[in-house]
Amino acid sequence: SQQGEEDPQALSIQEGENATMNCSYKTSINNLQWYRQNSGRGLVHLILIRSNEREKHSGRLRVTLDTSKKSSSLLITASRAADTASYFCATGGLLYGNNRLAFGKGNQVVVIP
Amino acid sequence: GAVVSQHPSWVICKSGTSVKIECRSLDFQATTMFWYRQFPKQSLMLMATSNEGSKATYEQGVEKDKFLINHASLTLSTLTVTSAHPEDSSFYICSARDTGAGGVQYEQYFGPGTRLTVT
């Protein structure tokens, strides 16, 4: 079942600007992860935030998690053309003890050089 | 480290034939692997959880007799699409968890995907 559901957005921004995308989910989670997918390729793990964390940084990425609102945001600062990709959030629980991930719809980000 | 490969990267087959897709964890062991399918401009949908040495766990609505999964070793899982039809054309992606990682490991490592086209 799909738990992570971000508003399917298509963002088009200029290089150097910041890109923000959101994700909402419906059930309790253990963690929330963000992944990037370049067109026709596999997924690359970007960052994981646990349910007891509120904010996390990794390089130019900043992720927030609000468990009371069941939502998360991903901010990419100082965007680059290479950041052009689809970004998915995925929620992880401990369903059946094997930590399946439920992916959201994805955000298409285009960074214009 | 933590590389997952898939083979083939793309395949074209005729309707009614079967196609096998391999997923390998190259530098770690994975007792659990996952198979997803993704239609154009859509998200990933989990098809099944592949468990080494035991039967796969299929998601609701996924035909286990059509999508055969075999996880015969700690580094290899295969997905066989049997009697393929054009509607099975999709992007199939596998992922794996590092069983040997210390503590609880949540991160999944994804393969590059296999593009299946059924004519």
Which tens digit of pLDDT belongs to each residue from B98-114? 776 655 566 788 999 99
- Planar angle of CA A79, B5, B2, nearest 5 degrees: 65
Q: Between A43, A96, A100, which is nearest B110 by CB?
A: A43
Three-state secondary structure call for residue A19: strand
Note the pLDDT of residue A4.
53
pLDDT of residue A2: 34
Q: Average pLDDT in the B77-106 region?
A: 86
Inspect the interface and report whether the beta carbons of A42 and B49 lie closer than 8 Å. Answer: no
Taking residues B71-86, report their average pLDDT.
94
Taking a C-beta distance cutoff of 8 angstroms, is the pair A6, A89 a contact?
yes
> Could you give the strand order of the β-sheet that contains B19-25, starting from the edge strand earlier in sequence?
B4-7, B19-25, B76-81, B67-73
Provide mean pLDDT across the span B30-52: 91
Q: Which of B34, B43, B112 sits opposite A100 (nearest CB)?
A: B34
B46, B110, B112: residue with CB nearest A100? B46
Judged by a CB distance cut-off of 8 A, whether residue A39 touches chain B is no
A14 touches chain B (CB under 8 A): no
If you measure CA to CA, which chain B residue comes closest to A32?
Answer: B106
Mean pLDDT, chain B, whole residue set:
91
Query: Across residues B70-88, what is the average pLDDT?
Result: 94
Nearest CA in chain B to A103: B44
Q: Which long-range contacts (CB under 8 A, 24 or more apart) does B56-60 make?
A: B57/A96, B57/A98
Interface test with A, best of B25, B108, B114 (most A CBs within 10 A): B108
Is residue B58 within 8 A of residue B79, CB to CB? The reply is: no
Res B97 pLDDT > 90: no
Which pLDDT score is estimated for B16? 97
Q: Which residues of chain A have pLDDT under 50?
A: 1-3, 96
pLDDT of B102 reads 56
Q: Quick check: B25 pLDDT over 50?
A: yes
Q: Which residues of A touch B46 (CB under 8 A)?
A: 100-103
User: Which pLDDT does position A3 carry in this prediction?
Assistant: 46
Report the percentage of chain B scoring pLDDT > 70: 93
Q: How many residues does chain A have?
A: 113
Which has the higher per-residue pLDDT, B29 or B85?
A: B85
E-assigned strands of A1-113?
10-14, 19-24, 31-37, 43-50, 55-58, 61-66, 71-76, 85-92, 101-103, 107-112
